[in-house]
Structure 1
Amino acid sequence: MTEHPSTISRRHQSLSRRIWKECATYPPLPRITITIPNFPWIIDVRATKTSYVTLEDVVDTIYASLRKTLSRSDLYAVASKLAPTDQYYAARAYEHRYGNRRSAEFYDDEKRRSLRRVDFLVGRTHFMGLVNNSRKSDQWQLNTR
Protein backbone atom coordinates (compact mmCIF):
# COMPACT_ATOMS: atom_id res chain seq x y z
CA MET A 1 0.00 0.00 0.00
CA THR A 2 3.03 2.25 -0.12
CA GLU A 3 3.30 2.14 -3.92
CA HIS A 4 1.10 3.99 -6.40
CA PRO A 5 -2.04 2.07 -7.48
CA SER A 6 -0.71 1.93 -11.05
CA THR A 7 1.84 -0.64 -9.84
CA ILE A 8 -0.84 -3.16 -8.81
CA SER A 9 -0.72 -6.34 -10.81
CA ARG A 10 -2.14 -9.84 -10.78
CA ARG A 11 0.31 -12.56 -11.63
CA HIS A 12 2.69 -9.85 -12.89
CA GLN A 13 0.11 -8.41 -15.31
CA SER A 14 -1.60 -5.03 -14.97
CA LEU A 15 -5.27 -5.09 -14.11
CA SER A 16 -7.65 -4.41 -16.99
CA ARG A 17 -9.84 -1.28 -17.10
CA ARG A 18 -12.84 -3.58 -16.73
CA ILE A 19 -11.59 -4.86 -13.36
CA TRP A 20 -10.93 -1.34 -12.08
CA LYS A 21 -14.53 -0.36 -12.93
CA GLU A 22 -16.10 -3.34 -11.14
CA CYS A 23 -18.40 -2.70 -8.21
CA ALA A 24 -16.49 -2.94 -4.92
CA THR A 25 -19.49 -4.12 -2.89
CA TYR A 26 -22.63 -6.13 -3.31
CA PRO A 27 -25.12 -4.61 -3.32
CA PRO A 28 -23.56 -1.58 -5.01
CA LEU A 29 -23.15 1.39 -2.66
CA PRO A 30 -22.42 5.07 -3.33
CA ARG A 31 -20.17 5.35 -0.25
CA ILE A 32 -18.30 3.12 2.20
CA THR A 33 -16.14 3.73 5.25
CA ILE A 34 -12.99 1.75 5.94
CA THR A 35 -11.28 1.29 9.27
CA ILE A 36 -7.90 -0.30 9.96
CA PRO A 37 -7.22 -2.00 13.32
CA ASN A 38 -5.08 0.19 15.61
CA PHE A 39 -5.15 3.03 13.08
CA PRO A 40 -6.61 6.35 14.26
CA TRP A 41 -8.20 7.49 10.99
CA ILE A 42 -11.28 6.41 9.05
CA ILE A 43 -11.11 6.26 5.26
CA ASP A 44 -14.23 7.56 3.55
CA VAL A 45 -14.67 6.20 0.01
CA ARG A 46 -17.19 7.79 -2.35
CA ALA A 47 -18.20 6.85 -5.86
CA THR A 48 -16.43 9.16 -8.31
CA LYS A 49 -17.34 8.16 -11.87
CA THR A 50 -20.39 5.95 -11.40
CA SER A 51 -23.31 5.73 -8.98
CA TYR A 52 -21.48 3.05 -6.99
CA VAL A 53 -18.05 2.60 -5.39
CA THR A 54 -15.66 0.79 -7.73
CA LEU A 55 -12.44 -1.08 -7.07
CA GLU A 56 -10.63 1.94 -8.49
CA ASP A 57 -12.40 4.28 -6.02
CA VAL A 58 -11.38 2.06 -3.10
CA VAL A 59 -7.73 1.67 -4.10
CA ASP A 60 -7.25 5.32 -5.05
CA THR A 61 -8.89 6.59 -1.86
CA ILE A 62 -6.90 4.26 0.41
CA TYR A 63 -3.66 5.31 -1.30
CA ALA A 64 -4.49 9.04 -1.10
CA SER A 65 -5.53 8.77 2.54
CA LEU A 66 -2.38 6.92 3.57
CA ARG A 67 -0.14 9.41 1.69
CA LYS A 68 -1.43 12.41 3.64
CA THR A 69 1.35 14.28 5.41
CA LEU A 70 0.56 15.03 9.03
CA SER A 71 0.46 18.61 10.26
CA ARG A 72 1.68 19.56 13.71
CA SER A 73 -1.90 19.53 15.02
CA ASP A 74 -2.45 16.07 13.46
CA LEU A 75 0.72 14.81 15.16
CA TYR A 76 -0.37 16.24 18.50
CA ALA A 77 -3.85 14.71 18.20
CA VAL A 78 -2.58 11.28 17.21
CA ALA A 79 0.15 11.31 19.86
CA SER A 80 -2.50 11.61 22.57
CA LYS A 81 -4.22 8.46 21.24
CA LEU A 82 -1.19 6.22 20.82
CA ALA A 83 1.11 4.48 23.24
CA PRO A 84 4.72 5.71 23.24
CA THR A 85 5.84 2.43 21.64
CA ASP A 86 3.42 2.96 18.73
CA GLN A 87 4.79 6.49 18.27
CA TYR A 88 8.33 5.09 18.29
CA TYR A 89 7.49 2.47 15.65
CA ALA A 90 5.74 5.06 13.47
CA ALA A 91 8.88 7.22 13.56
CA ARG A 92 11.00 4.19 12.61
CA ALA A 93 8.58 3.39 9.75
CA TYR A 94 8.98 6.98 8.50
CA GLU A 95 12.78 6.65 8.55
CA HIS A 96 12.56 3.33 6.75
CA ARG A 97 10.18 4.77 4.14
CA TYR A 98 12.34 7.72 3.15
CA GLY A 99 15.53 5.66 3.52
CA ASN A 100 14.29 3.23 0.85
CA ARG A 101 13.99 5.89 -1.85
CA ARG A 102 16.26 5.10 -4.77
CA SER A 103 17.05 8.61 -5.92
CA ALA A 104 18.39 11.50 -3.87
CA GLU A 105 15.50 13.68 -5.08
CA PHE A 106 12.85 11.27 -3.78
CA TYR A 107 14.83 10.67 -0.58
CA ASP A 108 14.99 14.40 0.19
CA ASP A 109 11.33 14.94 -0.73
CA GLU A 110 10.08 12.10 1.49
CA LYS A 111 12.30 13.12 4.40
CA ARG A 112 11.21 16.76 4.20
CA ARG A 113 7.50 15.93 4.23
CA SER A 114 7.71 14.29 7.64
CA LEU A 115 5.36 11.60 8.90
CA ARG A 116 2.51 10.37 6.75
CA ARG A 117 -0.49 8.34 7.83
CA VAL A 118 1.04 5.23 6.24
CA ASP A 119 3.82 5.36 8.84
CA PHE A 120 1.26 4.56 11.53
CA LEU A 121 0.70 1.17 9.93
CA VAL A 122 4.21 0.51 11.32
CA GLY A 123 5.28 -1.75 8.50
CA ARG A 124 1.96 -3.57 8.07
CA THR A 125 1.61 -2.29 4.52
CA HIS A 126 0.62 -5.45 2.64
CA PHE A 127 -3.02 -5.32 1.55
CA MET A 128 -4.80 -8.45 2.82
CA GLY A 129 -8.35 -7.57 1.79
CA LEU A 130 -11.45 -5.84 3.02
CA VAL A 131 -13.97 -7.49 5.32
CA ASN A 132 -17.46 -6.38 6.27
CA ASN A 133 -17.54 -7.16 9.99
CA SER A 134 -20.69 -5.28 10.86
CA ARG A 135 -24.37 -5.43 10.16
CA LYS A 136 -23.97 -2.26 8.14
CA SER A 137 -23.09 -2.95 4.51
CA ASP A 138 -21.18 0.33 4.19
CA GLN A 139 -18.64 -0.31 7.00
CA TRP A 140 -15.53 -2.27 6.10
CA GLN A 141 -12.25 -3.22 7.76
CA LEU A 142 -8.95 -3.21 5.89
CA ASN A 143 -6.72 -6.08 6.89
CA THR A 144 -2.95 -5.70 6.56
CA ARG A 145 0.17 -7.63 7.40
Structure 2
Amino acid sequence: MPGKHVRFSTQSTFHSPSTPPTSTYANLPGPTPYAPHRSYTDSAAAKGRAHNLIAFSDSPLLNYDISLHPSMMSTHHHGVSSASVLEPAVYPPQTTITISTPHLPWSISVSASNGRYVSVSDVLAALYRGLRVNVTPAEFNALGSQKPMRRATAAYTNRYTRFKGHRGYAEEKRQGVKRVDFLMGCTQFRGLSPTSSADVWRLHVS
Protein backbone atom coordinates (compact mmCIF):
# COMPACT_ATOMS: atom_id res chain seq x y z
CA MET A 1 0.00 0.00 0.00
CA PRO A 2 1.43 3.38 -1.03
CA GLY A 3 1.24 4.60 2.60
CA LYS A 4 1.89 8.23 3.34
CA HIS A 5 0.66 9.56 0.01
CA VAL A 6 -2.87 8.26 0.57
CA ARG A 7 -5.39 10.09 2.69
CA PHE A 8 -8.78 8.91 3.91
CA SER A 9 -11.59 10.91 5.44
CA THR A 10 -14.80 9.91 7.15
CA GLN A 11 -16.58 12.96 5.76
CA SER A 12 -17.81 13.05 2.19
CA THR A 13 -18.33 16.33 0.41
CA PHE A 14 -20.55 16.69 -2.60
CA HIS A 15 -19.11 19.75 -4.29
CA SER A 16 -15.64 20.86 -5.14
CA PRO A 17 -14.48 23.66 -2.85
CA SER A 18 -13.43 25.68 -5.87
CA THR A 19 -16.73 25.40 -7.75
CA PRO A 20 -20.16 26.64 -6.67
CA PRO A 21 -22.60 24.02 -5.34
CA THR A 22 -25.28 25.16 -7.76
CA SER A 23 -27.86 23.30 -9.80
CA THR A 24 -27.57 25.69 -12.76
CA TYR A 25 -25.76 24.84 -15.97
CA ALA A 26 -24.34 28.17 -17.00
CA ASN A 27 -22.00 26.75 -19.64
CA LEU A 28 -24.81 25.36 -21.80
CA PRO A 29 -26.44 27.57 -24.67
CA GLY A 30 -10.23 2.37 -19.80
CA PRO A 31 -8.71 -0.33 -17.94
CA THR A 32 -10.23 -1.62 -14.70
CA PRO A 33 -9.33 -4.10 -11.93
CA TYR A 34 -12.98 -5.15 -11.69
CA ALA A 35 -15.00 -7.64 -13.68
CA PRO A 36 -18.49 -6.53 -14.84
CA HIS A 37 -21.27 -7.28 -12.38
CA ARG A 38 -23.67 -8.19 -15.20
CA SER A 39 -23.75 -8.67 -18.93
CA TYR A 40 -24.02 -5.53 -21.05
CA THR A 41 -24.46 -7.19 -24.45
CA ASP A 42 -26.42 -5.14 -26.96
CA SER A 43 -28.63 -8.11 -27.84
CA ALA A 44 -29.74 -8.37 -24.21
CA ALA A 45 -30.29 -4.65 -23.72
CA ALA A 46 -33.72 -3.52 -22.65
CA LYS A 47 -35.78 -1.55 -25.13
CA GLY A 48 -35.00 1.91 -23.81
CA ARG A 49 -32.89 4.88 -24.68
CA ALA A 50 -31.20 7.71 -22.87
CA HIS A 51 -31.78 11.40 -23.53
CA ASN A 52 -29.56 12.65 -26.36
CA LEU A 53 -27.59 14.77 -23.89
CA ILE A 54 -26.45 11.73 -21.93
CA ALA A 55 -26.74 8.88 -24.44
CA PHE A 56 -23.56 6.88 -24.99
CA SER A 57 -21.54 8.24 -27.89
CA ASP A 58 -17.95 8.48 -29.05
CA SER A 59 -18.75 12.19 -29.57
CA PRO A 60 -21.11 13.04 -26.69
CA LEU A 61 -23.07 16.28 -26.70
CA LEU A 62 -21.74 17.18 -23.27
CA ASN A 63 -18.11 17.90 -22.54
CA TYR A 64 -18.04 16.85 -18.91
CA ASP A 65 -15.35 15.67 -16.51
CA ILE A 66 -17.36 13.83 -13.85
CA SER A 67 -14.76 14.57 -11.19
CA LEU A 68 -15.98 18.18 -11.34
CA HIS A 69 -19.33 19.73 -10.42
CA PRO A 70 -21.94 19.56 -13.23
CA SER A 71 -21.90 23.36 -13.43
CA MET A 72 -18.48 22.99 -15.09
CA MET A 73 -19.76 21.02 -18.08
CA SER A 74 -20.09 22.60 -21.52
CA THR A 75 -21.19 21.83 -25.05
CA HIS A 76 -20.16 22.98 -28.50
CA HIS A 77 -23.40 21.83 -30.10
CA HIS A 78 -26.03 24.33 -31.18
CA GLY A 79 -29.60 23.84 -30.05
CA VAL A 80 -28.72 22.63 -26.55
CA SER A 81 -30.29 24.77 -23.83
CA SER A 82 -30.22 24.73 -20.05
CA ALA A 83 -33.88 23.65 -20.11
CA SER A 84 -32.82 20.34 -21.68
CA VAL A 85 -31.46 19.07 -18.36
CA LEU A 86 -34.98 19.14 -16.92
CA GLU A 87 -36.24 16.62 -19.49
CA PRO A 88 -36.49 12.87 -18.79
CA ALA A 89 -33.09 11.21 -18.61
CA VAL A 90 -34.31 7.92 -20.06
CA TYR A 91 -37.20 6.77 -22.20
CA PRO A 92 -39.64 5.52 -21.20
CA PRO A 93 -39.36 7.87 -18.20
CA GLN A 94 -38.77 6.27 -14.80
CA THR A 95 -38.98 7.49 -11.21
CA THR A 96 -35.77 5.69 -10.19
CA ILE A 97 -32.82 4.24 -12.07
CA THR A 98 -29.51 2.67 -11.15
CA ILE A 99 -26.22 3.55 -12.83
CA SER A 100 -23.54 0.88 -12.88
CA THR A 101 -20.15 0.41 -14.50
CA PRO A 102 -17.61 -2.41 -14.54
CA HIS A 103 -15.00 0.20 -13.60
CA LEU A 104 -16.38 0.48 -10.04
CA PRO A 105 -17.58 -1.96 -7.36
CA TRP A 106 -20.44 0.41 -6.47
CA SER A 107 -23.63 1.43 -8.25
CA ILE A 108 -25.37 4.81 -8.06
CA SER A 109 -29.09 5.18 -7.41
CA VAL A 110 -30.94 8.10 -8.98
CA SER A 111 -34.38 9.28 -7.85
CA ALA A 112 -36.74 11.76 -9.47
CA SER A 113 -36.37 15.11 -7.74
CA ASN A 114 -39.62 16.28 -9.33
CA GLY A 115 -41.50 13.18 -8.17
CA ARG A 116 -42.44 12.23 -11.74
CA TYR A 117 -39.36 11.16 -13.66
CA VAL A 118 -35.59 11.08 -13.36
CA SER A 119 -34.27 14.09 -15.26
CA VAL A 120 -30.95 14.66 -16.99
CA SER A 121 -30.10 17.00 -14.11
CA ASP A 122 -30.89 14.26 -11.58
CA VAL A 123 -28.46 11.90 -13.32
CA LEU A 124 -25.62 14.42 -13.45
CA ALA A 125 -26.12 15.44 -9.82
CA ALA A 126 -26.32 11.82 -8.62
CA LEU A 127 -23.15 10.88 -10.51
CA TYR A 128 -21.28 13.74 -8.88
CA ARG A 129 -22.58 13.02 -5.37
CA GLY A 130 -22.02 9.29 -5.68
CA LEU A 131 -18.45 9.65 -6.89
CA ARG A 132 -17.56 12.21 -4.19
CA VAL A 133 -18.09 9.63 -1.45
CA ASN A 134 -14.89 8.96 0.46
CA VAL A 135 -13.13 5.62 0.08
CA THR A 136 -12.45 3.70 3.28
CA PRO A 137 -9.10 2.02 3.97
CA ALA A 138 -10.82 -1.37 3.59
CA GLU A 139 -12.19 -0.41 0.17
CA PHE A 140 -8.78 0.84 -0.90
CA ASN A 141 -7.13 -2.39 0.24
CA ALA A 142 -9.78 -4.35 -1.68
CA LEU A 143 -8.10 -3.18 -4.89
CA GLY A 144 -5.92 -6.15 -4.13
CA SER A 145 -2.51 -5.28 -5.54
CA GLN A 146 0.01 -2.47 -5.74
CA LYS A 147 -0.68 -1.57 -9.38
CA PRO A 148 -4.35 -0.49 -9.03
CA MET A 149 -3.51 1.11 -5.67
CA ARG A 150 -0.84 3.22 -7.32
CA ARG A 151 -3.20 4.17 -10.13
CA ALA A 152 -5.96 5.22 -7.72
CA THR A 153 -3.43 7.21 -5.67
CA ALA A 154 -2.17 8.91 -8.84
CA ALA A 155 -5.76 9.81 -9.79
CA TYR A 156 -6.29 11.32 -6.33
CA THR A 157 -3.03 13.29 -6.57
CA ASN A 158 -3.85 14.58 -10.05
CA ARG A 159 -7.34 15.56 -8.93
CA TYR A 160 -6.28 17.76 -6.03
CA THR A 161 -3.20 19.23 -7.74
CA ARG A 162 -5.49 20.74 -10.38
CA PHE A 163 -6.47 23.23 -7.68
CA LYS A 164 -2.92 24.21 -6.75
CA GLY A 165 -2.74 27.95 -6.34
CA HIS A 166 -6.50 28.20 -5.85
CA ARG A 167 -8.69 28.42 -2.79
CA GLY A 168 -9.79 24.79 -2.82
CA TYR A 169 -6.40 23.08 -3.03
CA ALA A 170 -5.76 22.34 0.66
CA GLU A 171 -9.33 21.18 1.31
CA GLU A 172 -9.42 18.91 -1.72
CA LYS A 173 -6.12 17.33 -0.71
CA ARG A 174 -7.20 16.91 2.92
CA GLN A 175 -10.43 15.14 1.97
CA GLY A 176 -8.48 12.18 0.60
CA VAL A 177 -9.28 9.41 -1.86
CA LYS A 178 -12.81 9.34 -3.26
CA ARG A 179 -14.74 6.85 -5.34
CA VAL A 180 -14.08 8.88 -8.48
CA ASP A 181 -10.39 8.08 -8.05
CA PHE A 182 -11.16 4.38 -8.59
CA LEU A 183 -11.87 5.33 -12.21
CA MET A 184 -8.07 5.64 -12.41
CA GLY A 185 -8.24 9.02 -14.16
CA CYS A 186 -10.87 7.97 -16.73
CA THR A 187 -13.36 10.69 -15.85
CA GLN A 188 -14.51 11.98 -19.24
CA PHE A 189 -18.25 11.33 -19.51
CA ARG A 190 -19.23 9.28 -22.57
CA GLY A 191 -22.86 8.71 -21.66
CA LEU A 192 -25.29 6.01 -20.57
CA SER A 193 -26.47 2.91 -22.41
CA PRO A 194 -29.27 0.46 -21.55
CA THR A 195 -28.61 -2.97 -20.04
CA SER A 196 -30.62 -6.16 -19.76
CA SER A 197 -32.45 -4.60 -16.79
CA ALA A 198 -34.87 -1.82 -17.68
CA ASP A 199 -33.95 0.27 -14.64
CA VAL A 200 -30.16 -0.24 -14.82
CA TRP A 201 -28.00 1.90 -17.08
CA ARG A 202 -24.32 1.51 -17.86
CA LEU A 203 -21.97 4.47 -17.38
CA HIS A 204 -19.29 4.92 -20.03
CA VAL A 205 -16.13 6.93 -19.35
CA SER A 206 -12.79 7.41 -21.01
TM-score calculated relative to the size of structure 2 = 0.63
Alignment-mate amino acid for residue 16 of structure 1: S
Instruction: Indicate the SS of the match to 1:44.
Output: strand
Whether 1:132 aligns to 2:194 is yes
Whether 1:108 aligns to 2:170 is yes
For 1:22-42, what per-residue CA distance to the aligned partner results, in whole angstroms no more than 9, with x for missing partners?
Answer: 101111100011112221111
Stretch deviating more after TM superposition (15-24 or 124-133): 15-24
Match of 1:144 in 2: 205
Instruction: Indicate the SS of the match to 2:106.
Output: coil
For 1:15-63, what per-residue CA distance to the aligned partner results, in whole angstroms no more than 9, with x for missing partners?
Answer: 5342011101111100011112221111001111241100000000001
Whether contact under 8 Å (1:130, 1:140) holds in the other structure is yes
Whether 1:51 aligns to 2:112 is no
Instruction: Indicate the SS of the match to 2:91.
Output: coil
Provide closer, same or farther for how the CA distance between residues 43 and 132 of structure 1 changes in structure 2, counting only shifts above 3 A.
same
Match of 1:27 in 2: 92
Aligned residues: 141
Alignment-mate amino acid for residue 160 of structure 2: Y
More strand by percentage: 1
Provide closer, same or farther for how the CA distance between residues 95 and 11 of structure 1 changes in structure 2, counting only shifts above 3 A.
same
- Supply the distance in 2 between the matched residues of 1:121 and 1:24 (Cα, whole angstroms): 23
Match of 2:103 in 1: 38
Match of 1:66 in 2: 131
Structure number, greater radius of gyration? 2
TM-score calculated relative to the size of structure 1 = 0.88
Q: Which runs of 5+ in 1 are unaligned?
A: none
Instruction: Indicate the SS of the match to 2:90.
Output: coil
Over the matched positions of the two proteins, sequence identity in percent amounts to 36
Alignment-mate amino acid for residue 142 of structure 1: L
Whether contact under 8 Å (2:104, 2:183) holds in the other structure is yes
Provide closer, same or farther for how the CA distance between residues 12 and 106 of structure 1 changes in structure 2, counting only shifts above 3 A.
farther
- Supply the distance in 2 between the matched residues of 1:35 and 1:90 (Cα, whole angstroms): 19
Whether contact under 8 Å (2:85, 2:119) holds in the other structure is yes
